[in-house]
Amino acid sequence: MSKLSNIIDIVKEKNANEPEFIQAVKEVFISLEVVAEKYPEFDDAGIFERIVEPERQIIFRVPWVDDNNKVQVNRGFRVQFNSAIGPYKGGLRFHPSVNLGIIKFLGFEQIFKNSLTGLPMGGGKGGSDFNPKGKSEMEIMRFCQSFMFELSRHIGANKDVPAGDIGVGSREIGYMYGMYKKLKDDNSGVITGKGLSYGGSLVRKEATGYGLCYFMEEAIKDIKGESFKNQTVIISGSGNVAIYACEKATQLGGKVVALSDSNGYIYHESGIDLDLIKKLKEVERKRISEYVKIHSDAIYTEGSTKIWNVKCDIALPCATQNELDEKAAKTLVKNGCFAIGEGANMPTTPEAVDVFRGSDVIFAPGKAANAGGVATSGLEMTQNSMRYSWSFEKVDEKLKRIMIDIYSNTSKAAKEYGKENDLVAGANIAGFMKVALAMKSHGIVF
Ligand code: NDP
């Protein structure tokens, strides 16, 4: 048994109730066997054992009062996973499915993703099992304030810089940032994804979706000699990542024909009306099924995972973890889909990843393909430190450059280890190397 499979066994034993975290560690470590062989000094320094253990994990009570004057209690989390290359950085997720294992899986992925951006950011993640759906504005505000009351003790512009994720958009960021400022009297920009009027960056809202398309355009050009132009695209989800992936894919000449939410998906053969989606989802916070009331030629189907039956050239899963399984992967390949780019974190099950890697399609893992969000958060931090704001064009240009560099470093690392076009291996190796070298340089302090 190899050294790394031994460590995977220990991770399984120690974190038995955290299947998503175990899945994420396995996926990374399988790619790192070749690195462990080439660099025995990483093993000597205990890098592999150390990197799977968070530096710190904080779990806290979040009490708040609902509109009926009833006290509600949720659980809050912040996992500060790895600070070897910079302050902890990673989003906050508010969703009833949140537990420690989910936050650890996301925090672990974030270490390598942040490293790939080339910016000095460590890995962290947080959130709560609070469900924002159906809550009033005041309830959301009271919850966010209570959440930040505790979180504020643990974060700081040079220590840990949270951002949004599922269920945490500009509204929630605004309430949390307001509370942080009130408590700490500090204006250094401790959260990213802030509103433009108080230190936010242009392009942050669009960044993950745009970045995904920049990455995919580069991968498709390099590996297949193709582009988004005239390709049929399907995108799961209809939240922040999905909406702006849809916008950029369309700008690049693709035709997006399907989007979903957790209840079902819409199919619109002539192409999605994105202005309507933005209105329904960003302004009115309605279900995606409402779309067909306006466009009678579009079709709504109950059951979100059925979206993968729609024939397409490019598929972009942008909703949530493990939303695309083996059967869906086989259907996509059979229907001629030639490129899959993960906008969400770990949306593809391990069995589905094997299907893609065993066929001729391009498979771009989230830690590389969706890194545009955190990269632009890094650019927001830079602007906050400089007390300056860049134009939309300037940030967009930097984002594009970063995504092209991530593709190039991922592809290069894959090639170097004899795994040409294996973007999973390339991203894991390239992301890991920088962190491992930094951990080794620091000595055994963490
Ligand atoms: P949002 O909350 O804005 O949107 C999430 C979308 O996914 C919604 O349309 C939601 O539908 C849908 N969804 C949630 N659960 C399911 C499910 N089980 N099946 C189908 N659809 C589902 O989140 P984001 O767009 O910000 O995040 C989406 C993914 O991208 C997550 O994995 C996140 O970690 C990842 N990501 C986000 C980044 C960002 O900058 N925002 C950066 C990098 C990664 P419904 O409304 O019905 O719940």
CA proximity to 89, closest of 121, 58, 61, 62 = 121
Pair 214, 364: CB distance under 8 Å: no
The pLDDT, as a whole number, for residue 445 is: 82
What mean pLDDT value characterizes the chain?
A: 97
Q: Measuring from atom 44 of ligand 1, which residue has the nearest CA? A: 344
Distance 153 CA to ligand 1 centre (A): 28
Q: 341 Cβ partners below 8 Å, 6+ apart? A: 212, 213, 215, 216, 219, 314, 315, 316, 362, 364, 369
- Report the residue among 131, 238, 320, 342 best suited for mutation to probe ligand 1: largest number of ligand atoms under 8 A from its CB: 320
Q: Is the pLDDT of residue 84 over 90?
A: yes
pLDDT per position as a tens digit, 404-419? 999 999 999 999 999 9
* Amino acid occupying residue 331: T
pLDDT per position as a tens digit, 62-76? 999 999 999 999 999
CA proximity to 365, closest of 416, 422, 403, 327 = 422
Any idea which fold 3-187 has? Rossmann fold (3.40.50)
How are the residues of the chain apportioned to helix, strand and coil, as percentages rounded to the nearest 5?
50, 15, 30
The pLDDT, as a whole number, for residue 432 is: 98
Q: Is the CB of 83 under 6 A from ligand 1?
A: no
Question: What are 415's two structure tokens?
Answer: 């090639």
Q: Is the pLDDT of residue 446 over 80?
A: no
pLDDT per position as a tens digit, 158-198? 999 999 999 999 999 999 999 999 999 999 999 999 999 99
Pair 210, 399: CB distance under 8 Å: yes
Q: Work out the burial of residue 438: count CB atoms within 10 Å of its CB; fewer than 13 is exposed, 13-18 middle, 19 or more buried.
A: middle
CA 329 distance to own-chain centroid = 20
What is the number of the ligand 1 atom nearest to the C-alpha of 106? Answer: 34
Q: Measuring from atom 2 of ligand 1, which residue has the nearest CA? A: 166
What's the rounded Cα separation, in Å, for the pair 254 and 249? Answer: 5
Distance 421 CA to ligand 1 centre (A): 27
**Between 346 and 3, residue with greater pLDDT:** 346
pLDDT per position as a tens digit, 125-169? 999 999 999 999 999 999 999 999 999 999 999 999 999 999 999
As beta bridge partners, residue 125 has 79
Tokens 């050239």 locate to 313
The pLDDT, as a whole number, for residue 215 is: 98
Residues of the chain with CATH 3.40.50.720: 207-364
**Averaged pLDDT for residues 99-124:** 98
Is 125 tagged catalytic?
A: yes
Q: Is the CB of 262 under 6 A from ligand 1?
A: yes
**Which of 113, 125, 194, 281 is an active site residue?**
125
How many angstroms separate the Cα of 422 from the Cα of each of 31, 222, 411, 428?
10, 13, 8, 10
Pair 337, 312: CB distance under 8 Å: yes
Q: Is the pLDDT of residue 348 over 80?
A: yes
Residues of the chain with CATH 3.40.50.10860: 3-187
CB atoms within 10 A of CB 263: 13
Model confidence at 2, pLDDT cuts 50, 70, 90, reads confident
Question: What are 334's two structure tokens?
Answer: 């059979």
DSSP for 166-203, written as a single string: TTB-HHHHHHHHHHHHHHH---S--SSS--GGGT--TT
Its pTM stands at 0.95
Work out whether strand 339-341 and strand 314-317 pair parallel, antiparallel, or are unpaired.
parallel
What's the rounded Cα separation, in Å, for the pair 318 and 370? Answer: 9
pLDDT per position as a tens digit, 195-212? 999 999 999 999 999 999
> In this structure, which long-range contacts are made by residues 6-10, counting pairs with CB atoms below 8 Å and at least 24 apart in sequence?
7/48, 7/49, 7/52, 10/49
The pLDDT, as a whole number, for residue 1 is: 59
Q: Is the CB of 373 under 6 A from ligand 1?
A: yes
pLDDT per position as a tens digit, 214-223? 999 999 999 9
Q: Is the pLDDT of residue 349 over 90?
A: yes
Burial 7-37 (b: 16+ CB within 10 A, else e): bbeebeeebeebebbbbbbebbbbbbeebbe
What dotted CATH number matches 207-364? 3.40.50.720
